Amino acid sequence: MSEEWRLLQTGYAKAFTNMAVDKAILVSHSKGLVPPTVRFYGWVPPAISIGYFQSLVEEVDLKACQRYGVDCVRRITGGGAVFHDKELTYSLVIAESHPSIPKNILQSYGRICGAVMKGLEQLGINSEYAPINDIVTNCRKISGNAQTRKHQTVLQHGTVLMDVDVDTMFSLLKVPNEKIKDKLIADVKQRVTSIHHCLGKHIRFTQVADAMRRGFEEEFQIHLVEGGLTIEEQTFAEQFEKETFLTEKWNRKR
């Protein structure tokens, strides 16, 4: 019989809640309180997350975000700034020692991205892993991923782009050189794609989630059992949201 992992479908939430919940699962799993967990979620309102090492004020046009009603949050994972709008975000929390997780960090990115690729395949999209942390289809990015390891536990979260609005994204992010902004936007439009663009039709969030669920089950040869956050995870999440992700101290720490 295949191993059972937990599936959490937490729906749409604010950026601060989303990041707090991922951290809560990480802490809970590291204490042995919950099984390996796959989570699918979305962002309402749309939000920008920045990598742990990025500077909020250097990367994000905060006034524009305020005008558009877009929230901003710093992740506990490295990587770049992401505009989260029409996408499915997944997270996987699992012990570093789990036999399915390569010890080598880069290899573990590839392995976990394999689940997303199998999920995309369910939707009829062939893709490949593009190190360090992207998944591409026809040389265009459809998924970005970021991983941290804390308390002997791996947290990897990533986006699966359902649709993409590069113009809005660039009105929210700062570019190093305003003079070449138009060219940069044109370049990114060539380098990024989405499920909508690949298939020529809109796919619902739940359909993408079903496909990703099968992708994770196939890649890791496991059975995902739908569950909810434990009381302890909810308490952790509320605490992390309030004490970390909602605070200026955290979000402006760089």
Partner 1 sequence: MQSHSVYKVPQGKLLKINLEYDETTHRILHIRITGDFFAYPEEAMEHLEEQLKDTPLDRKKLLLQISSLISQYHIEFIGLNAEALTQGILLCVL
Both tokens of 85, joined, read 């709008």
Do residues 112 and 147 lie in contact, with contact meaning Cβ atoms separated by under 8 Å? Answer: yes
CA distance 195 to 201: 8
Counted residue by residue, the chain has a size of 254
Contacts of 241 (CB under 8 A, 6+ apart): 16, 17, 19, 20
Question: In the chain, what is the straight-line distance between the N-terminal and C-terminal CA atoms, in Å?
Answer: 47
CB of 82 to partner 1, least distance (A): 10
CB of 231 to partner 1, least distance (A): 28
CB of 54 to partner 1, least distance (A): 6
Nearer Cβ to partner 1 (67/253): 253
Nearer Cβ to partner 1 (89/148): 148
Nearer Cβ to partner 1 (10/91): 91
CB of 67 to partner 1, least distance (A): 25
Bridge-based pairing of strands 82-84 and 87-95 is unpaired
Both tokens of 215, joined, read 């992708």
Query: Which residues are bridge partners to 95 per DSSP?
Result: 153
Nearer Cβ to partner 1 (105/185): 105
Interface residues toward partner 1, by CB under 8 A: 51-55, 58, 76-81, 105-106, 132-133, 146-150, 176, 254
CB of 58 to partner 1, least distance (A): 7
Do residues 6 and 33 lie in contact, with contact meaning Cβ atoms separated by under 8 Å? Answer: no
CB of 178 to partner 1, least distance (A): 14
CA distance 100 to 219: 9
Nearer Cβ to partner 1 (20/224): 20
Nearer Cβ to partner 1 (45/80): 80
